[in-house]
């Protein structure tokens, strides 16, 4: 089961990366499939928890640098084939059947998907239809590398906390934060692909998501969100002269962080017993 969960984690990420690479109608299909695979991942995780087994989010490296979309789709299909065989180890036959059915459909769609030339790794660092200064380009490049990892990290942390919590109030907050991080991850990953600097987020250390002191974690999380707001503000200012539209996007992300901070403050009060008992 642990191997099955790890392999599902890997193919979910690879499918998401393929979505970033696409510049056609394929993109939404690949994003939809990655969303489904993430749900598979969480269902398998729940099975492991119910079996009382310990686990981590460690995974193998995922090579994604390709010149054509068909190259990564072939690799994804190979991974899906392996997953289908490994499903025999799942004790939940209903879950086994559901995942297997999804896999069979995905494989068929991917085999017939129209091919594309991939430019997500050309390192040109040029944003489509926008002329950025070298300073703005450097600032945007650094931001995308750091924030793409950060949002992936947050998804894994909040998902782990939610998986190990039976508190409906906290789980509602965790799910909102997971959904918000997915939106940010997709936005930043898509921008990275457009600039030719797409990369797979590095593996999250287990010490970050296997949280022992939730109160300290939430307090640190609030500080990190405040820091993220400042980074968005700086980036908005850096690109404002070259692209008011891009600046407005980062202002938009900055303002979203306000609600994330409010949610985490709410969670902190709830966890310390100040409200919502």
The hierarchical CATH code for the domain 1-118 is: 1.20.1260
Give the residue from 216, 208, 147, 207 showing the smallest Cα distance to 183.
147
pLDDT digits (tens, 9 = 90+) for 159-218: 999 999 999 999 999 999 999 999 999 999 999 999 999 999 999 999 999 998 989 999
> In the prediction, which pLDDT does 91 show?
77
> Is 121-277 the same fold as 1-118?
yes
pLDDT digits (tens, 9 = 90+) for 215-248: 999 999 999 888 888 888 888 888 888 888 899 9
> In the prediction, which pLDDT does 274 show?
62
pLDDT digits (tens, 9 = 90+) for 85-139: 888 767 788 899 999 999 999 999 999 999 999 999 999 999 888 898 999 899 9
The hierarchical CATH code for the domain 121-277 is: 1.20.1260.10
In the chain, where the domains are located = 1-118, 121-277
pLDDT digits (tens, 9 = 90+) for 37-92: 999 999 999 999 999 999 999 999 999 999 999 999 999 999 999 998 888 767 78
Whole-prediction pTM: 0.94
């Amino acid at each position: 089961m642990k191997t099955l969960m790890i392999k599902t984690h890997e193919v979910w990420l690879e499918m998401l990366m393929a979505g970033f690479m696409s510049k056609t109608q394929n993109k939404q299909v690949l994003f939809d499939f990655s969303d489904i695979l993430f749900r598979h991942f969480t269902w398998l995780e729940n099975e492991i928890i119910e079996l009382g087994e310990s686990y981590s989010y460690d995974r193998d490296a995922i090579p994604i640098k390709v010149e054509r979309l068909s190259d990564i789709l072939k690799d994804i299909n190979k991974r899906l084939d392996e997953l289908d065989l490994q499903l025999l180890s799942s004790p939940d036959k209903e879950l086994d059947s559901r995942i297997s059915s999804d896999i069979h459909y995905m494989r068929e769609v991917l085999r017939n998907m129209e091919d594309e030339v991939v430019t997500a790794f050309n390192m040109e660092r040029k944003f489509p239809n926008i002329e950025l200064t070298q300073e703005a380009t450097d600032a945007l490049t650094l931001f995308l590398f750091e924030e793409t990892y950060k949002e992936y990290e947050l998804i894994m942390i909040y998902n782990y906390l939610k998986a190990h919590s039976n508190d409906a109030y906290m789980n509602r907050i965790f799910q909102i934060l997971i959904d918000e991080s997915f939106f940010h991850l997709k936005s930043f990953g898509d921008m990275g692909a457009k600039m030719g600097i797409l990369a797979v987020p590095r593996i999250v250390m287990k010490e970050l998501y296997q949280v022992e002191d939730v109160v300290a974690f939430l307090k640190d999380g609030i500080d990190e969100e405040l820091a993220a707001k400042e980074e968005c503000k700086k980036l908005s200012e850096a690109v404002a002269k070259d692209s008011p539209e891009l600046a407005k996007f980062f202002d938009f992300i900055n303002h979203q962080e306000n609600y994330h901070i409010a949610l985490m403050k709410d969670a902190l009060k709830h966890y310390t017993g100040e409200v919502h008992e």
